[in-house]
Structure 1
Amino acid sequence: MQQLEALTREAAALGEGKARVIPIHALSRDEAEVARVLQICNACRYCEGFCAVFPAMTRRLEFGKADIHYLANLCHNCGACLHACQYAPPHEFAVNVPRSMAQVRVTTYTDYAWPSAFGALYKRNGLVLALALVLGFTLFMTLGLAANGTLWGTVNGSFYAIFPHNLLVALFAPVFVFAALALGVGVRRFWRQEEVGSPSGAALSEAAHNVLSLKYLDGGHGEGCNNADDAFTHARRRFHHLTFYGFMLCFAATSVATLYHYVMGWSAPYDFVSLPKLLGMSGGILLAVGTAGLFVLNLRRHPLQQDPAQRPMDRGFIALLFLTAASGLVLMLTRGTAALPLALCVHLGCVMALFATMPYGKFAHGIFRCAALLKWAIERCQPNRLQLGDD
């Protein structure tokens, strides 16, 4: 124990310049804190079996900027290591892996954002902005319909009788394409900072399994995450599953409807038993339930398990997903009624706000985490040079 204390004290001194194995001055304050914490964890290794972060950490003796960002995005913020750590606050070492990793993840999104000048938007993206965008886009479309005298009245359930198909494509396609491009360029920059080799079939399969199953939200031992206290719960993992698969079903509904329109020549509206409607309704329900659960858990989460500065961004993203799902379900229920035009304006306003904030909001965490998990799957297939004694 005395030897461990000595090692961890030496590691803890990194941030104060007493023992430097990496150029601390080249890192930001948040990056230097992660480097300090990882040196302590590398000396202790009590949490080595908890998640992918710790075995990936043990493959390194030093932690440069690329290593820090990679490991930060590999962290799923389950909180297990915080509650298990003997050096967590109020200990003088103040080791808090979840918070320090969360703070660096925002730096990742900011540093690798495209265009680079837009990176600052991550720190301004919050609940108030999300709701303001929804209100603004909804009001814009509502005023347009009011000016045409089509805001209130039955239209036989046809969205295109309210907003022509080509107009909707012209409004939403550029925003969606830009969001996809911005996220794609950003994650490419992240990927190229530390080359780990080409992915094999086994690595792709492992990464896909870890992403789709949310493997590392199981708390390391399959008992779930720690949320408000040190009690394990699967609630966070389950609500993430509902949110993820609900979103994917909604995306599939839109994709199928696009194929129907452009390939099959079948124009909307579609019957309730049609594939787009079934996918959309099931996805909307899952997404609404999942995001409502995540919002409640976010409100109850222990302050030490998260970065308080990111709460507005987290909650803004959750709120946009919930409003998009809920307004979509309401839109289906108002089909064939006089309220359809107004319901359509609200839903389109939510979707536009979601697309507009997608490249510079919490949505990015899923993209960067998938890339980090693929890197880890590739790295696991390679020999551990530290264990082989190759310096």
Structure 2
Amino acid sequence: MQALEALTRDAKALANGTPVPMSAAETEVARVMQICNACRYCEGFCAVFPAMTRRLEFATADVHYLANLCHNCGACLHACQYAPPHEFAVNVPQAMATVRGQTYSDYAWPPALGSLYRRNGLTLSLALVAALTLFLVLGAVLQGGGLTALWKTDLGNDFYNLFPHNLLVGLFAPVFLFVVLALAMGVRAFWKDVKPATSGADVGGAAAGEAAHDVLRLKYLDGGHGDGCHNEDDAYTLKRRRAHHLTFYGFALCFAATSLGTIYHYAFGWVAPYDLPSVPKLLGAAGGVLMVLGTAGLWHLNRTRHPLHGDAAQKPMDLGFIALLFLVAASGLALWLARATPALALLLCLHLGAVMALFATLPYGKFAHGVFRTAALLRYNTEKRQPNPIGLGSD
């Protein structure tokens, strides 16, 4: 309903040739940024504050840009003299998190599916895994013999004997291509809006290299001073940064394993499954272990996070994404360890169900934050190389 009202409001404004009014969440970010711009105590904390000092006013595009530049580390909240219960009630992490969630929905492609961000939660994620797993189990059972026969089926350590390779490619390739297209179209629209507000300059090689460095190191999860950020209290911790690194690089290794397996299959005719010491198996096993450790850490940290650090309405979406990543990694490892047991067929159904659920929710879930944040960092590292338009502050 809120999304429909927002679309109606924006359509009327555009038809009348007037600027689209800010939402309440966007107005709150503009308000706290005006206060922060006068104070500047947190200027060295992260990329948000140097970017802030290049502005005297904060239009919608500026708000969207700064919200996605924020890494939600919480350091500025704990340092702020105007944070709640002060009457100014400055809470930068929470205000930014609320707008980030709005931008994912506003820039979703196709636009009609933007409302899925608000419905993509833990319950839906687990229910989707269960439904897809049951669908695969029923499909395998109907091939003959019933569930008992499925349990006793000897697949010869090769799960392609249950679900052929071409069938899996036919199921996953179209979904994967849609995920890439949907996210690319969404971030393209975001980029089109924020580029004029961030100097309008094209990204150069130096800016792209520094942005990649910032993304891969998760630079701005260190609280701006290297000691870490905050979670449940005022103590600095690097736990969030480490858990994110384990999850991110674990996912990257698993993706690399799948990509290399595809090259093996189509370029060299080396048919899966692969086992140790093959490179795809080494990459996949290492990635799976890192993802299990990382997502377990992220789950704990999310559940114990200080309530003022983020948007409580997005917590189910966050937990749903973490749960799916954990299930994909854990079921993949279990599938490999149980490859010579009667449980192989059922574990295969569970693993494929989890992977399908992850793919189905990727364009409309927490995964989007990495894509939009990378785009914001590219704009930041481009903008800071341009002359400061108001001659104040420093980068």
What's the TM-score once normalised by structure 1's chain length? 0.92
Structure 1: distance between partners of 2:321 and 2:209: 29
Counterpart of 1:65?
A: 60
Among residues 259, 263, 266, which one is paired with 1:262 in the alignment?
Answer: 266
Counterpart of 2:333?
A: 329
Counterpart of 1:174?
A: 174
Q: CA RMSD in A?
A: 1.3
Among residues 346, 352, 377, which one is paired with 1:348 in the alignment?
Answer: 352
For 1:273-288, what aligned pairs fall within 5 Å after superposition?
A: 273-288=277-292
Give the C-alpha shift of residue 385 in structure 1: 1.6
Counterpart of 2:224?
A: 220
Quick one: structure 1 residues 24 and 54, their matched pair in 2 at CA, closer, same or farther if it must change by over 3 Å? farther
Structure 1: distance between partners of 2:274 and 2:300: 35
What letter matches 2:344 in structure 1?
A: L
Give the C-alpha shift of residue 207 in structure 1: 0.2
Instruction: Tell me if structure 2 keeps the 8 A contact 1:151–1:341.
Output: yes
Structure 1: distance between partners of 2:19 and 2:311: 22
Instruction: Tell me if structure 1 keeps the 8 A contact 2:25–2:98.
Output: yes
Structure 2: distance between partners of 1:119 and 1:178: 15
What letter matches 1:381 in structure 2?
A: R
Identity of matched residues, %: 68
What letter matches 1:112 in structure 2?
A: Y
Among residues 136, 139, 145, which one is paired with 1:144 in the alignment?
Answer: 139
**In the alignment, is residue 368 of structure 1 matched against residue 372 of structure 2?**
yes
Give the C-alpha shift of residue 151 in structure 1: 2.1
Give the C-alpha shift of residue 194 in structure 1: 2.4
**In the alignment, is residue 75 of structure 1 matched against residue 70 of structure 2?**
yes
Structure 2: distance between partners of 1:271 and 1:321: 23
What does the per-residue CA deviation read over 1:165-213, in whole Å, with 9 as the maximum and x for residues that have no partner?
Answer: 1110111111111111100000000001022321111001100000000
Quick one: structure 1 residues 388 and 228, their matched pair in 2 at CA, closer, same or farther if it must change by over 3 Å? closer
> Does 1 or 2 have the higher relative contact order (CA < 8 Å, sep 6+)?
2
Give the C-alpha shift of residue 270 in structure 1: 1.1
Structure 1 moving runs of 4+ over 4 Å: none
Give the C-alpha shift of residue 38 in structure 1: 0.4
Counterpart of 2:155?
A: 155
What letter matches 1:48 in structure 2?
A: E
Counterpart of 1:104?
A: 99
Give the C-alpha shift of residue 336 in structure 1: 2.2
Secondary structure of the structure 1 residue equivalent to 2:277: coil
What letter matches 1:97 in structure 2?
A: V
Q: Which is further off, 333-342 or 82-91?
A: 333-342
Counterpart of 1:18?
A: none
What does the per-residue CA deviation read over 1:118-165, in whole Å, with 9 as the maximum and x for residues that have no partner?
Answer: 000000110000000000000000011111136221211112111011
What letter matches 2:260 in structure 1?
A: V
Structure 2: distance between partners of 1:85 and 1:110: 30
Query: Which structure 1 residue ranges, 5 or more long, are not aligned?
Result: 1-22
Structure 1: distance between partners of 2:110 and 2:361: 14
For 1:287-298, what aligned pairs fall within 5 Å after superposition?
A: 287-298=291-302
Structure 1: distance between partners of 2:150 and 2:250: 30
Counterpart of 2:192?
A: 192
For 1:204-215, what aligned pairs fall within 5 Å after superposition?
A: 204-215=208-219
Structure 2: distance between partners of 1:117 and 1:362: 18
Instruction: Tell me if structure 2 keeps the 8 A contact 1:80–1:219.
Output: yes
Q: Which is further off, 373-382 or 332-341?
A: 332-341
Counterpart of 2:112?
A: 117
Secondary structure of the structure 2 residue equivalent to 1:269: coil
Give the C-alpha shift of residue 24 in structure 1: 10
What does the per-residue CA deviation read over 1:68-90, in whole Å, with 9 as the maximum and x for residues that have no partner?
Answer: 00000000000000000000000
Instruction: Tell me if structure 1 keeps the 8 A contact 2:64–2:103.
Output: yes
Structure 1: distance between partners of 2:236 and 2:380: 26
Give the C-alpha shift of residue 388 in structure 1: 7.3
What letter matches 1:374 in structure 2?
A: L
Instruction: Tell me if structure 2 keeps the 8 A contact 1:53–1:74.
Output: yes
What letter matches 1:61 in structure 2?
A: L
What letter matches 2:258 in structure 1?
A: T
Give the C-alpha shift of residue 380 in structure 1: 1.2
Among residues 12, 28, 39, which one is paired with 1:44 in the alignment?
Answer: 39
What's the TM-score once normalised by structure 2's chain length? 0.91
How many residue pairs were aligned? 367
Give the C-alpha shift of residue 373 in structure 1: 0.4
Secondary structure of the structure 2 residue equivalent to 1:225: coil
Query: Which structure 2 residue ranges, 5 or more long, are not aligned?
Result: 1-17
Instruction: Tell me if structure 2 keeps the 8 A contact 1:24–1:32.
Output: no
Structure 2: distance between partners of 1:148 and 1:378: 57
Secondary structure of the structure 1 residue equivalent to 2:114: helix
**In the alignment, is residue 239 of structure 1 matched against residue 243 of structure 2?**
yes
Counterpart of 2:7?
A: none
What does the per-residue CA deviation read over 1:327-369, in whole Å, with 9 as the maximum and x for residues that have no partner?
Answer: 0000001112221111110000000000000000000000000
Secondary structure of the structure 1 residue equivalent to 2:270: coil
